Structure 1
């Protein structure tokens, strides 16, 4: 039986001057798969050259969030069945979409309501107008599944004030609206109860005018109060030293961060820190996405990715068995291999 239009994984519609992309897998919190990426890319290509479309609006179906990330269960299945090339192909097109969103010539309004994680950050936080609400929970939680922040995440997280991005990358912690604004992951706060009015206004109003009408001051975040220990501890040159500084800081929140970090994949932690430090020196989002593509493809050959997904979403026992099991066993060579050219080629962005 053919799927109906309402069953499509991305719903496309026009409302006045706005083209709407609605991620439509609500039972999976709109987790992205390859078909969704292709639909979004084709829609952007069409709408860029459609004079009747003045802006693009991204939302998610259901009540739980915009997008919980990539469809990691599919990645687990690909790795386990020897079809890793399928996941590499998904990332190839997903990262090109992230770059496309970042340079889209018309206003791209991302409504980052509810859960926005991983791949959800990639299709929203590179947009020109990023709106959060009091329900927003924004995170790059990849180290918890044996992976590394991707979809341009290492680009975004290295452009936060001080070392806030390093903290978010290593711990995988989610932030609310105020901290998303502080970290430069969002631009405006609109109360969730006013989102329907805001979105409806975009049908006939300039985006800037709608933002002025509906945006207001966000609730205070939490991270600014912790900048001193975050900036000091995460400035260290290794994950081990970061953890040592966190434990020695005397701040309860810092010690909690250390324990959170130590539960993550040791390999992922070291590769993530290296990726962040390298991303700081790269000249563009495109160059960072190229690096992330190499790192992601290399992760397909690591036992931690399949194991992390197994523990978190397949068996849900939340007890991953990392290999190597501790930071001291992860060698410089283990880290370096993630940055080598991949047999899957490049994205062609630089």
Structure 2
């Protein structure tokens, strides 16, 4: 992705790139974001910034490389192919942790991305780059004399052939054009009701009573509050089957789902859910990791991943930093809004839906159009 702009006294070019180990659906091994500002008359660099990811634990700013770029002639290909790329390679190499995977490849790739950035900026600025024809012979051994270029080619195949034929992702065009239809984009069906959830306002408490009278008296609200007793199938979910869909007797965290109310539209349903009155008996709660340690509240099964001698590594380290990180979320919140649509088919107790219905699986028709952005969690919930 690139962009350029021109003012009366400055030319600016911004460019970003990502290089993965495979063509699609992969994280970058090295990515970068770069910017350069030059004088439109002399092509002298007024300002530069080169940022890389995949080099250190967080983004790495190549300050030395940017420093020698400032004040230089951006049209001087020998300077770029020599000192600029050499400095970049050396700076990247020194920033790589000792246990980095493919260190020489990452160094070469970073220098190559900088070179490609220079070539792209020359094209945008109208500079004759020379395409790196004068790279010095003593160029740093693990940098590349020309950009790393990868391409995917296919042998000629018959029109009806499948193997060897390049095909785009089935949903690619719909995603990029905004035509992909998600659950919230679907038109309402006849008689559709909207559901809002009644959530716990306590972290740990026993449910003594639930009074939905105020909620059910509202105009447009379905005359039924759905609780755990209304679930004909299993009320347990997740991979370990240890959490209730609707809390039946106790709530175990703030926001625990207790009940559901249906109404003619979303706003009415939300107001009705807020009007449901619940009486609690508070139980002891643990609000921090310190309290958990103090009360010896631990998970019985502990998963550990060990590699090498940690104590020896700390003892041999030049610097050891300590600290703590606290996260209030219980589980990961997915990028896409969670929504579902349940459509009774009106015959043989069939539904277009999944979940705890307590009916044979062959009477449930599951349609999952998209699972992107779920990091696998949506797939696992489908299996539940």
Same fold (TM over 0.5): no
Please give the TM-score of this superposition, normalised by the length of structure 1.
0.21
Q: Which has the higher strand share?
A: 2
Higher relative contact order (CA 8 A, sep 6+): 1
Larger-Rg structure: 2
